[in-house]
Structure 1
Amino acid sequence: MKRLLFAAAVSLLTATSAMAQTVIIVRHGEKVDASADPALSEAGQARARALAAELTEAHPSVILTSPLQRTRLTAAPTADYHSVTSEAVPLDGGAGAHVAAIAARVRALPEDATVLIVGHSNTVPLIARALGYAEAADMPECEYDRMTVLHLNGDAAHGVVTRYGEPTTCP
């Protein structure tokens, strides 16, 4: 059912223009601990596999992550499935510079590109906003299942927020 909703969202967004980018933005999966650069927990690994299953028909041509292993590990099953190498965008200069670098990288891609971005709770909404989706809500630390699908056409961005994998609940 979730895959059907995702497919419907992508179809609806891509129906508005034959030449537009599709950008899928998610947060990394659940962490094994609170260290500076943790790996994924079992739940996070399951979420990474769920992401790959969700995106089997999306065909991302570019996958962007932060250099932290939790984002790279979340992207890995999707990258493997689509034979795409993930690209780590540096965190040099802080979150603002990272977000700007990702937005610039996306905007430099061909108009018909499909991009997967795996970020963090503090960067996912900022990236969506930087790409023109002003409606992007802040993301609480406890939320891992949000998937924002944007359709970019020039400076215009239309978006749909869906969920994937096991639902997360925030207190």
Structure 2
Amino acid sequence: MKLKTLCLSVAVTFAATMSAAAFDSTFYLVRHAEKQADHNPPLTEAGVKRAKAIAEKLKGKKLNAVYSTDYTRTLQTAEPTAKQHKLDITKYDPRKLKDFAVELKNLEGTYLVVGHSNTTPYLASLLIGEKLPMLNEKQYDRVYIVHIDNDGKASLSMDYTEPRTE
């Protein structure tokens, strides 16, 4: 009887440890590229070029998935990268970023997440645990790179796409 209890205890402890373990993950978070002035606008010519530049930047990476909100501008920004990596675009709800951040933290691998000027820095903040400034309406070039190591420690680095914007 004691052996059975001991085995059960070890199994429960192992399962709890595995479910609490963090995975080595990298997230590339970008705002959609330049958009036209409209309610649900498509990208401008400059935006199409920037979307292609994002795909080029991620060309050598092995992406596990591409995430985007369900807006024309974000989907068009994600499309070249998804196509290049032969991935479907998975849509997420920008109104539920806290839940989405928890979901992302439980993933292992490399991901592109396309959002908006207000949601992209906020999602990066949720992933790293510190507040980041919002983007202004003219900033399209930021690439937030969030790395979460096997111990669950998150770090942030920044990259940019050309042309640089302010």
Normalization by structure 1: what TM-score?
0.78
The 5-angstrom pairing of residues 80-119 of structure 1 reads: 80-91=83-94, 94=95, 97=96, 99-110=97-108, 113-119=109-115
Amino acid aligned to 1:121 = S
Pick the structure with greater CA Rg.
Answer: 2
5+ residue gaps, structure 1: 1-18
5+ residue gaps, structure 2: 1-22
Match of 1:165 in 2: 162
2:53 paired with 1:56: no
1:48-87, Cα deviation, whole Å (9 max, x unpaired): 0000011101221111111111111001000000011111
Segments of 4+ moved more than 4 angstroms: none
Normalization by structure 2: what TM-score?
0.80
Out of 119, 122, 128, the position equivalent to 1:123 is: 119
How many matched pairs?
Answer: 143
Out of 12, 24, 28, the position equivalent to 2:28 is: 24
8 Å CA contact 1:145–1:167 kept in 2: the answer is yes
8 Å CA contact 1:89–1:101 kept in 2: the answer is no
1:82-123, Cα deviation, whole Å (9 max, x unpaired): 0111111124xx3xx2x123213312323xx10110000000
1:103-148, Cα deviation, whole Å (9 max, x unpaired): 13312323xx101100000001110011125253321111000001
Q: Percent identity?
A: 31
